Structure 1
């Protein structure tokens, strides 16, 4: 009887050690690290998508805060705004982009 209790305790301890090592050695994905951007080609320019893992959160084919349906002139502009939106999502603030933010980033906006 004493021997079987010792074996059970030993198995439990080994199990707990294994579980603890596995928990601390495997990389933990945070919400922020799962947000990814993809620059997409659209008619006459570029846009972006933001994914949370495999889930599409944002499909932005036009420059936000600009009247009309104007696409980004360069993939770099689209990427820069996507980075801003991701930053806002990570900070748990509104992902809305303002005209001032676009101007501060020197995003090319065509005047009609």
Structure 2
């Protein structure tokens, strides 16, 4: 009898987890290199969601100088989306993350 109770509890937990799977979004980041710099794409559940060919908030079409700078901002964008915030980037956030750009 105890075995059946445990199986029912385990089944209930797995059912609850599978029903609530959509509560967390699955995002992935792809860093890409161009002739003059780097840019990022953000994928949501495997589909292209954001294509960011230049540094957000920076004037003009400036590209990231290296892949690490690019990744820092892409990760910040994903963190905002995971918190259900609009994924805008400000000049202050670029400076705080030591992103090289022309102001």
Normalising by structure 2, what TM-score?
0.77
Partner of residue 20, structure 1: 11
Please, which runs of 5 or more residues in structure 2 have no aligned partner?
none
Work out the CA distance in 2 between the residues paired with 1:43 and 1:69. Answer: 14
Aligned residue among 90, 98, 103 for 1:106:
98
Normalising by structure 1, what TM-score?
0.72
Work out the CA distance in 2 between the residues paired with 1:42 and 1:31. Answer: 32
Work out the CA distance in 2 between the residues paired with 1:50 and 1:96. Answer: 13
Partner of residue 74, structure 1: 66
Q: Tell me the C-alpha RMSD between the 2 structures.
A: 2.7
Please, which runs of 5 or more residues in structure 1 have no aligned partner?
1-12
Higher relative contact order (CA 8 A, sep 6+): 2
Partner of residue 31, structure 1: 24
Work out the CA distance in 1 between the residues paired with 2:29 and 2:22. Answer: 16
The structure with the largest alpha-carbon Rg is: 1
Work out the CA distance in 2 between the residues paired with 1:63 and 1:93. Answer: 19
| CA deviation after TM superposition for structure 1 residue 75, in Å | 0.2
